[in-house]
Chains A and B, each alone.
Chain A
Amino acid sequence: QKEVEQDPGPLSVPEGAIVSLNCTYSNSAFQYFMWYRQYSRKGPELLMYTYSSGNKEDGRFTAQVDKSSKYISLFIRDSQPSDSATYLCAAVNEAGTALIFGKGTTLSVSS
């Protein structure tokens, strides 16, 4: 079992929809969580960075961490065609030496 699990999708939504992307993790020692966005033939770029439980909002994006259920989520409000990309969740490993990534969810937003 991979330490960070993510539904690969693909996920297709119309423009303006609210998108929910989800991951689960297995190690309760994980404390730092990140969401990355990756466009085709580009490197992943950081979207959100959260520590421990709770919500963090940045514009149309909200990251949520529920440590009791080992669940992390990314919500995108008013989705745009430019949001079409692969979204990767990640957790800093227990030793604090590297990021462990989910396999990514591919999102397509149609206009």
Chain B
Amino acid sequence: DAGITQSPRYKITETGRQVTLMCHQTWSHSYMFWYRQDLGHGLRLIYYSAAADITDKGEVPDGYVVSRSKTENFPLTLESATRSQTSVYFCASSRDRNSPLHFGNGTRLTVT
């Protein structure tokens, strides 16, 4: 029961570089989400997807791009990383719109 896996666990990148965070789930859940977690702000939604090829913005989408060509994968790309994007990023999935979310263990991203 692999569940939901994120990679890499840790990433250091420079300002202006493109970086992609990966998320893979084995439950065939319809919904997938990307959150970022910062001190003082808690968990904030970046993007979500209700199904393959359907994505929508959350609370803090600026500077991020997502895609979902397959149900099980939901990569998050920072097109030109900024220091303000230093954070812990969590991917999550859920069976349907009102079901609980199941989270991965996060990617800790540092932008220097």
Contact = CB atoms under 8 A, between A and B. Distances in A.
A16 B33 CA distance: 37
A34 B100 contact: yes
Nearest to B48: A98
Contact of A96 (B33, B56, B97, B105): B97
Given A43-B104, A45-B103, A46-B102, A88 B50 contact: no
Interface string B32-68: 0101000011111100101000001010000000000
A37 B51 CA distance: 27
Contacts of B105: 41-43
Given A97-B48, A97-B56, A44 B43 contact: yes
Contact of B43 (A42, A92, A97, A101): A101
B19 interface: no
B45 A104 contact: no
Contact of B97 (A43, A45, A46, A97): A97
30 contacts: A32-B98, A34-B100, A41-B106, A41-B108, A42-B105, A42-B106, A43-B103, A43-B104, A43-B105, A43-B106, A44-B101, A45-B103, A46-B101, A46-B102, A88-B42, A92-B97, A92-B98, A96-B97, A96-B98, A97-B56, A97-B97, A98-B33, A98-B45, A98-B48, A98-B58, A99-B101, A101-B35, A101-B43, A102-B42, A103-B40
Interface of B: 33, 35, 40-45, 48, 50, 56, 58, 90, 92, 97-98, 100-106, 108
Interface of A: 32, 34, 36, 41-46, 49, 88, 92, 96-104
